[in-house]
Amino acid sequence: MENLDSKYSARGDLIWLILRPWILIPRILYILLTLIFLAIRILFQGNSKNKSVQKNLSKYLFDVITELGPCFIKLGQALSTRPDLVRQDWLTELTNLQDNLPPFEHKIALQIIEEELGSPANEIFDHFPDQPIASASLGQVYKAKIKNKTYCAVKVQRPNLHFLIRRDVVILRILATTFSSFLPFNVGVGIGEIIDEFGKALFEEIDYEKEAKNALKFANLFKNNPNVFIPNLEKDFSSKRVITTSWIDGIKLRDRAILEENNLIPSSFIKTCVISGLQQLFEHGYFHADPHPGNMFALKGGSADSGNLAYVDFGMMDTISDSDRITLIKAIVHIINDEYLLLAKDFQKLGFLTKNQDLEKLVEPLKEVLGGSFSAEVGSFNLKNVTDKFSKLMYSYPFRVPSRFALIIRAVVSQEGLALRLDPEFKILKIAYPYIAKKLLTDNSNEILEILLEVVFDQKGRIQIEKVESLLNILFKEAENMNSDLIPVANASLKLFVSEKGSEVRKSFLLSLIKDDKLELKDAERLFSLIRETFSPIKLAKSAFLNIISPA
C-alpha cells in the first residue's frame, strides 16, 4: 500500500481520494447501498415483537457495522453505550463492538511485533499466546508474560489502518455534508468540521507512541486519586504500532449483575466514573474521549461510596482550553440559578451562538429546555431529554456545535450511557451539581473565586442570600454529602476568608453592609444565620464522627 501521511488533512485527503476514483466510487456506492438495505430492514422489522426476528436483526446490524470497517465501528461503539437510545436486544450485540470483534490473523500480529520491536514475540516474551484475549476496532490485545515479570497487555494494531481510516473519513465527510439537511437532528453548519475532529482523533489514536505519552500524562494527573488506576507503560516493549502495559485484573463496566456477582457495588463505580470525568473536564482540562465499558474496569477494594476504577486505552484523548473550562462552569452555575440570559451569553462565548444573535429572544426557549433541572424535574432530567429538546430548539434558533466540542460531547454522552447501563435510574446532575457546588466553595483559584463572587454578590454588591442558600442546598441536601463534605467545605471556606486571596471576598462583604451611606446588617444577619444553620457544631461533630467510623 502506498505511503500515506500519518496526519489527517480534510482538503489534502479529499484531493487524494478524488484523484483515485477507482477507490472512491466503489466504496461510496458500497456504503450507500449497505446503509440503505440496513434502513429498509430496520423499517420493516424494527418494531417486530418476535424475539427471533430482533435477534437476527441485531446480529445483522453488528455484521454491517463490522463489515463497514473501523470508522463505522467507532460510531457503533458510541451507540453501544446508550441503553436509552438502543433496544436492549440490539444493545447486547452492539456491546461486542467494544472488544469482541473478529480478530485479524495471528501470524500478521506476530509479523507486526517483530517489525516494530526488532525480535520475534517468542524471544521478547516468556509466554505469548496463540490468540488474542480481546479484539477491538483498531487493534487486538494479547495477555503475554514479560521475561522475569508478571502478565502484561500487548496491543497490536490492525494492518493497513491509515489507508482504511483516511478513505472512510473522507467519504463520511462527503456523505454527512451532502445529506445533513435530511438528518433527524441539526448540528448547525459545522457537521463537516465535526467529522474533521473525528478524523484527527482517529489518526492520533492509531499512533501508539502518542498513546503512550497520553497514558503517562493521564496517570500523572490522577496519581493522588486513590480510586483511579492507570496501567503502567512498558516502554521497552512499545512502539508506533505495538503498545505494552501492565495487565489490569478487573471486571468491565458492562453489566450490573456481573458486578454484583463479584460482590462489587455498581453505584460506587458510577460515582468514581462520573467524578473522575468531571475532574478531567473542569480541573485538568485533559480528558479520556472514549470512555466506553471496554475501556474501563471495576477493581476490588475501594468503598461502598467510591469504587476503584481503572482506565485503559488512551488513544483518543483531547484537551479543553482554560477559557472554555471556566465558561462551562459558569454555565452550570447559571443553570442552577435560573439565569438564562447569562446562560445564553455563555453559549455565545463558547461558540454555540453567533455574536450578532439577539440573546433576549433565547431566554424563554432556554428556560423551557433547562428550567427546573434541579427541582422536582431532576428525577426525569438526563442528557437524552436535553438533547431531544435542544434538537428542536436548534431548528428555530441558530445554535451550532463548535467542532472543538465534538469529542467532549461524545465523552460525556458515552459516560452517562455507561452509568445508565449500571443504573437505569441514574441522573448525572445529582453528581455533577454537588461537584460544581463543592468546587466553588473549596477551590481557591482566581477564576473559581471570581465565579463564587458572582454567585454571592450581585452587580450592585449586595449579598444574594437565595443563591448562597441554593448552593449549600445542592451540596448538602443528600445525607452522604453532608457527612463527607461538611468539614472540608467549612475548613476551605474559612481558610479562604482569612487568607490574602480572600481579601476580595472580605472587601465585597464589607461593602455589602453599606447602603445609602448607612450600615445595613439585615443581609449579613441572614447570611450568618444560614451559615450557622448549615455548619452548626452538632452537624460538624456528627460529620467528624461518621468520617471516623466510616472513612471515605
Q: How far apart are CA 348 and CA 56, in angstroms?
A: 46
Q: How far apart are CA 59 and CA 81, in angstroms?
A: 17
Q: Which amino acid is at 15?
A: I
Residue 126 CB coordination number (10 Å): 12
For 313-374, the three-class secondary structure string (H helix, E strand, C coil) is: CCCCEEECCHHHHHHHHHHHHHHHCCCHHHHHHHHHHHCCCCCCCCHHHHHHHHHHHHCCCC
Contact assessment for residue 436 and residue 329, using Cβ atoms and an 8 Å cutoff:
yes
Contact assessment for residue 399 and residue 369, using Cβ atoms and an 8 Å cutoff:
no
Contact assessment for residue 373 and residue 38, using Cβ atoms and an 8 Å cutoff:
no
Q: How far apart are CA 483 and CA 251, in angstroms?
A: 30
| CA distances from residue 244 to 105, 308, 455 in whole angstroms, order as listed | 19, 22, 48
Contact assessment for residue 414 and residue 79, using Cβ atoms and an 8 Å cutoff:
no
Q: Which residue has the cell 444565620?
A: 529
Among residues 168, 196, 290, 318, the one annotated as catalytic is: 290
What residues have CB less than 8 Å from 441, skipping those under 6 apart? 452, 471, 475, 489, 492, 493
Q: How far apart are CA 255 and CA 258, in angstroms?
A: 5
How deeply is 102 buried, as exposed, middle or buried, from its count of CB atoms within 10 A (0-12, 13-18, 19+)? exposed
Beta pairing, strands 514-515 & 518-519:
antiparallel
Phi, psi (degrees; rounded to nearest 5) at 225: -95, 110
| CA distances from residue 399 to 84, 335, 395, 531 in whole angstroms, order as listed | 24, 18, 8, 40
Q: How far apart are CA 36 and CA 57, in angstroms?
A: 15
Active site residue 89: no
What are the catalytic residues? 290
